[in-house]
Structures are given as structure tokens and as C-alpha cells.
Amino acid sequence: MESCGRFCVAALCVLLTVCYPEMNCEPLNVHLIPHTHDDVGWLKTVDQYYYGANNSIQHAGVQYILDSVIDELSKDPYRTFIYVEMAFFTRWWKEQTDSKKAIVKQLVEGGQLEFVNGGWCMNDEAATDYNAIVDQMTEGLRFITDTFGSQYRPRIGWHIDPFGHSSEQASMFAMMGFDAFYFARIDYDDKANRIDRKTMEMVWRGSPSLVESTQIFTGVLYDHYTPPNGFCFDQLCSDPPMQDDKDLFDYNVEERVSQFISACLEQAQHYRTNNIMLPMGSDFQYENANMWYKNLDKLIHYVNKNGSINAFYSTPTRYTDCVYKANQTWSVKLDDFFPYASAPQSYWTGYYTSRPALKGYVRYNNALLQVGKQIEAMHGGYYDNNPSCDKLAKAMAVAQHHDAVSGTEKQHVADDYAKRLHIGQTECEYVINQAIDDMAKKYNGSSTLQLESCEYLNISICPISSDSNNQFDIIVYNPRGYTDERVVVRVPISNPDVLVQEANNNVTCQVLPISESTINVRRDRGSALYTLVFFATVPPLGYNTYFVRPSDMISGTKCTYSEPVLITDNTVVSNGVYEMKIEKANGHLGRIVHKKSGSFVNMNQQFLWYWASDGHNKESSQTSNAYVFRPNSSFTYNVNDDGNIAVNHLIQGPVVQEIRQEFSSFASQDIRLYNGSAHIELEYTIGPVPFQDGKGKEVITRYDTDLETDKQWYTDANGREMQIRIRDSRQTWVWKNTAPVAGNYYPINSRIYMRDENRNTQFTVLTDRSHGGSSLTDGSLELMLHRRLIHDDSIGEHLNETGQFGEGIVVRGTHLLVVNSIENSAQIHRELAKHLMNTKSHTTQITKACNMSSLETYIY
């Protein structure tokens, strides 16, 4: 929704009153913005891009761009340049001599070199969590402040390449003190409408709760983030240079000036002030900056000699100051810029799910990083040259790039992101283990614990717990500011005859056989046959220790062993909070009742897949690819040939009731009702997705219910505020429904829900990673879990992750379901979203058996 309002609120009227002498109040002011867009990984790895290696894929070398630009800026005080990606700039900076650094500082102080955005990268806005966005911005802004001074921190958000824009990003930029936010990619139809109505610039009010305090002036670039047609002067371009010697052939000054002025006047018709901004640059340009500046110098000279317009070197900050002074009335935008479509059949909604394993790994490491930073700070740090969580912080910052966590990079680049994360993860886990060990020795007098972290617990691989004859200790750390009494601990063990104690008190526990789907995924990488499950109680900002021992070693209550039982009839299970029914007819999850509120849904949850378009149809040649989701039709296919019937086994016990569902060789699920839990846990396992039939597949889970939802549902914005979605509709223009499935998909970072107002019932699904999702019919939610495609896209390879064994990657993830009254649901899903955002928040460390009296609960 957009309304009109005078743009002059206190938070945004930080106007610089400087007068730039090159600006003129009468003719059109044309702000030329020399820039380069340097992807922190995409077709090449971040290192390859910096050094200019592997140019057989793409010619790009960031170090040469910065070398060349600095030299050219030094030649003329009127020349300007903007730079974004601190991941590259910090590398370059460290290699420079003191004299070169002094020159750069002079350029920054003089306003010739301006940092915009200022983060470690230009982050994605659909698949990123707000926590990780803040962290990556902090990495870059800290460097700028420490190196150049706080007065040179950016005032401008510059997201010219991300594939759609979130309300939370706008809100955060406003809260960071930015004065404006500029980008290029919005829906083709929305852009045409805005050009027609002269609303390419607006005030964006990103937060429905914080309203004016988070509004920010926002502008859409006219011609993507590239120069006007015919005016790219880079060595990678073939546009004619400014040839101004009349004694030589091909003199073209009048022709080029006329073309440029015409382009500027055309653009100016669609903006509200006498200022327009032209980005002069593109991807990895200015490696030979002399070509750019020599021709731009001439262009500016001859255009201004003409007198029709006033062209000059500028920056987005200078442009914003001029627009502010115009004191215009601007429309106010209240929703977001998702989904992004570049054409009627090209909806960029596939990347919300692309590379789901990487998305999950990024989220996992985000949680680990928060724990590591907290423990490292409370411990006092490990100082220079010692292990720290800094490598993980920088790897995570790189992973927020809009071609990283988005899943739109080449496979070897995705592997590089994962490798960097793992190196950082390993060092950060060492820091966590060392800090806990130090604290245990200091306050409890224990010996060295030799703590270990088990990173493959989700597929029951943990050598220290499964190979220790059931003699090991578990330390659970709680980074929250309150006691958590329901931390679920699940570890693989080798023998079911076991007990768990905490401070010589028995702990209720349960042992389950490891599922067939887990054994199939794990292969020969682990040998444990059972899973130990119990609840841990952990104090705020502290840890607790649990002792696992063979039941015949010490006296105590043995864990309950539960065998799976095949169920072939209607089956109802309950945990005291929920009752849920498995349907006899198809084996699917059916009716769910919340016993206290009386809220209920009659439902059918199952796995299905869309047939990905190969581009061979009359409407468009567009394929479904890493960016674009384009199914052949709205029809979905079953994951098996037996009516999508699931085979179910039930395990019951004092801690958890678990239903193991097998849908097909590539789709299974464990449904868990933990005793007393306010949610239902669904752990899905998808893959390897078959493709021998030549069909690309986009696998979804669908929750069909009997709720009446009036075409409406809600999704989160980067894990924070919720926003309404309306099927087949856009809030700011009349939408042409050319893609009824893909065009109704939206990014989901932490949760999605729908409501039946008449029944006062809300159905919420929470996720452990980013997905694409929608509500294509009333009472239905679907989330895309996995994609395996067989046709090339714009990066020169198709999205076919073959995985470690070459058969196709397997993805295991978690959804949490909440059925409750509308008024009760908000608090529940917000707490659960924080829990899932930090899947590692309750860090579980395991050590060999210690003296059971030597480790007690410890609070920092």
C-alpha cells in the first residue's frame, strides 16, 4: 500500500547544507556515479575474484580495479567513485604501503572515494536472517570507522543487485542511520507502473509497528545499475569512445552529446526533481579506470558546453542531499518488493529454496557464532594469534552475499562457502569448548574435560557418545537470559541399557532405535544403533552437566526403551497439550487438536513435487533454474506411485512419541510429540531426488486444512516482523497473474501462518532455514524443501547438487507446527522462532566420563 506524505521527519532530515559548486538549480542536474559491482563470490570464488584468477569463467580482478581507480582519482579532485564490498576492500587495504594508505585517506576525506552500504558484502534480502545481516554490516562498518573515522560511515544503502527487497532491510537501514536506500531490481510490471506515475522514488516505511522511526527515502534506479545505452566506457564494453579530434576520422562529439542528453531528458520525465542519478559502471568494471575517466571527463565537458543539462561527477550521498532540498511530497510504501519478476514467466522465487543444505548450514553457523561471541566475551577473549570466532564471523559475513546463501552461485563456489564456514566453525567450537573447560577448572576444580562437539548429530554420528560404552558426560550451555527447562538432548549411543543423572538425581530419559532413513543417509559413517533422548534444564548464561552411564554400573532409573510398532488403523497420540491423528486411509497427519484452547484443524500433510519447466512451450523459453521457479503447470505429482500413501511406525515413551513415516525412497518424515510441548516437530528427509526420468523436480510439503482464510496468509521478514500476503494480488498495483504458482511464492525465513477469524484459530509452521512458500488455496500452506533441476540457467550449469556420493544431495530439516487461538499464537511462535533461529543456541558438548561430583551447574 502507498499513500502520500511530506518527506521531512526528524529522523531523516539530517541534511547536509553543503553547496556543491558543480550543481545548478535551473537545468537538469545529472549525477554521474562511477561504481563497480563486485560479487563476493558467484561464478568464481571470492579469492578468485579478488586475484583475477580463473578468468576462463569470467574476467574479473578486484585488486586491479582498486589499484586503477585510486590512481585515477588522484589525478583530478572532481572525480568520484563509490565502493561497497568491504570483504574485498579490507584485503586490498592490508596490502598497501603507508604512502598509498595516506592517499586513500585523503580521497575519502575529500569526498572523492565514498563508501556506500559499507557491509562485508551486499547481502541477500530473501534468504537471510536479520541477525546475520546485522553481523555482516557490523564487520564492514567497524572497519570503516576504525580506519577512516565515524564521520565517513556510509549514509546510503546501495542494494543494486539483490533479487527483491524486504521491509526489514529498509527498516534496519533506517535504524542504522542511513538517509536513503537505492536499488535496481523490482518487478517489471511494478517498475512500468512507477515510471508511468513518477513514483520511482518514495518513502518506505518498513516496520508496521515502529512506523515513522524506520522510514527511509528509497529510489529505484532507472536503467538497472548500468549506464545509459551506448555509454559504457569499460574495457569489457564495445560502446564507442568520445572521439573529439576533428582532424581524425570518426569524430562523434555532437552525436554522442545529443544521444546522452536525450537519454537524460527521457529519464528525467519519470522523476520528481531536477536531479537524476546515472550509475556509470557495472559488474567488475574499472579494471582499467583510465578508459572510464578519460571518456567521462570529455562527456561532462562537451555536455555542459551544450548547456541543455548540467552533468558532473557525484555520489549517491550528494544526489540524496539535492533531492532532500527539493522539499517534494513523496508516496509512502508500506509493503515489500517481493516477489521479483523480470518478465511475465520469470519469477525469481526459486532461489528462496535453492541449495537448501547450504541454507541450513548457514543458519546453523549463525547460531553457533552468537554462542561463540558470547562465551568469548564473557571469558575475556583469547587475544591476538589465538583461536577465536573471527574466522567464522567473516565466513558468515561472506555467506550473506546475494549469490551465496541465495543458492545462485556455481557449485564450486557453493563448496568454497561451505569450506570457509567449516573452518570457522571448527575454530569457534574449539573456543567454546576451551572456555567451558577453563570455567569448569576454575570454579569446580575439575581436570581438563577434552570436550568435543558432534556436528553430525542430525544423522546420529557422534563417535564419543556411540563408541564409549555408554560412559560419557554431556554439557549443555544456555546463552539466553532465562532458565530453559525443556532443552531436548538427542545423542546416538551403542547400547540401550543406559541411565542419565544430573547432580546424582535421576533424569527421565528414553532410548529409541535409529530410523531406517537415518541409517540410509549415514551409510557407514557411524555405527550407533540407538538414540538417547531427554530434557535438560539449563540456567541463564550458564551450563549444566548430565552424566550418561551403563545401567548396571550405578544405581538409578534406567531409560525407557521404546520399539517402533507398525500402525495400520486410525491412530491418535497425545502429549497432554496436543492430540494428533494419523489417518488410516493414507497414513498422513490428519486432525490436530490443542486441548486447552480447543483450537483444531482437520488437515492432510504430504510431500509432492512440481515438474520444472524446460522452457519448451509456447508461452516462454524460460526454464526453472537456480533463480527462477517456473513449474510446467499448477499440477503437483505424488512422491510415490501408490496414491502417496505413507507407511507409519509409532514409538511411545515418557519423553517423546514419534511417528516415522515413509512416503518413498526419497521422502520420509519423523513426527515428534515431546511430552508437554507446545508444538509438534516434523523432521523431514528429502533426497536423493530422482531425475532419471528427465524431469526436474521441485519438492514441497503441503499442509491442507479446513480453515477459511479468505486468500490471506502471513510470512516473516528476515525473521522479525510478520506481513500479510494476499493471493493473486499486489498492494501497490493491479497484478497481471501470468504465473499463478510462482507469482504467489514468498520468502520464508522463520515462519508462515494462516488464520480463520471465525474459528479464532491460527495454524503456524516454523522453519529451521529459509524456504519459498505460499497459500495457493484457502486453508493451505506449502513450503518448497528441495530442488533438483536438469537445465542450464544463466550461470552455465544446472542446479543439480550430486552430493558426497554422487547420487544427489539429501536434505534433512525441521518444521514446528503450532495450532492455537489467534491471541495465544503470537507469543508461542515468536519464542519458537528465536529457538529455531538459534538451532545451536543450546550448545551440547560431550566429553569422556568424568568424576560425577566434579561438574555441577555453573552460571557465569
Active-site residue set:
161
For the beta carbon of residue 797, count every other beta carbon within 10 angstroms: 13
Q: DSSP code of 509? A: E
Are residues 214 and 232 in contact, defined by beta-carbon separation less than 8 angstroms?
A: no
Amino acid at the residue 74 = S
SS in 3 state form for 606-670? Answer: EEEEEEECCCCCCCCCCCCCCCCCCECCCCCEECCCCCCCCEEEEECCCCEEEEEEEEECCEEEE
Are residues 280 and 32 in contact, defined by beta-carbon separation less than 8 angstroms?
A: yes
Are residues 409 and 43 in contact, defined by beta-carbon separation less than 8 angstroms?
A: yes
Are residues 475 and 547 in contact, defined by beta-carbon separation less than 8 angstroms?
A: no
Kindly report whether the peptide bond that precedes residue 339 is cis, defined as omega within 30 degrees of 0. Answer: yes
C-alpha cell at 36: 563497480
C-alpha cell at 726: 494476499
Residues 6+ apart with CB under 8 A from 249: none
**Nearest-angstrom CA–CA distance, 178 and 172:** 9
C-alpha dihedral (609, 614, 619, 621), degrees to nearest 10: 140
**Nearest-angstrom CA–CA distance, 776 and 784:** 13
Q: Where are the alpha helices (DSSP H) in 182-252?
A: 188-197
Q: Where are the alpha helices (DSSP H) in 158-288?
A: 167-175, 188-197, 253-268
From the list 375, 352, 348, 235, the residue with the least C-alpha distance to 295 is 235
**Nearest-angstrom CA–CA distance, 670 and 503:** 32
DSSP string, 732-755: SS----S-TTGGG-EEESSEEEEE
**Nearest-angstrom CA–CA distance, 771 and 748:** 5
SS in 3 state form for 430-478? Answer: HHHHHHHHHHHHHHHCCCCCCCECCCEHHHCECHHHHCCCCCEEEEEEE
C-alpha cell at 87: 570483504
Which backbone phi and psi does 450 adopt, to 5 degrees?
55, 55
Write down the number of H helices and E strands in the chain: 16, 43
Q: Which residue has the cell 498492494?
A: 731
Are residues 69 and 291 in contact, defined by beta-carbon separation less than 8 angstroms?
A: no
For the beta carbon of residue 224, count every other beta carbon within 10 angstroms: 12
C-alpha cell at 504: 546424582
From the list 155, 161, 126, 125, the residue with the least C-alpha distance to 141 is 155
Q: Which residue has the cell 541534511?
A: 15
